[in-house]
Amino acid sequence: MTIDWSNIVNEKTEETIIEVSKSQNIRLIDVFVIAPVLIYAGTFKTLPMWLRISLIGFGVATAVYNGKNFLENKNNLKNKN
């Protein structure tokens, strides 16, 4: 018995338009709600410095990662049509 690792390791999968649409909405929430809240929370001076840096870092990473993926998915859908 052999295992087809290409399907397991490959991150890219075929999705339906409905699945992509749902994930796109979640990505927009991440970029425009979650990330700003994390960054804002990181500005509270009463929090320990390590936590403030972590919150700001996670906020920026969330915005960049999900923003990039949103644009990639949008371009992929445009190119399919």
pLDDT in tens, 16-74: 777 777 889 999 999 999 999 999 999 999 999 999 999 999 999 999 999 999 999 88
Q: Say what the pTM is.
A: 0.74
- CB under 8 Å, gap of 24 or more: what pairs does 5-12 form? none
Paired tokens of 30: 């991440």
Paired tokens of 74: 């949008």
Q: How far apart are CA 43 and CA 55, in angstroms?
A: 9
How big is the CA angle at 62 (ends 11 and 18), to the nearest 5 degrees?
Answer: 55
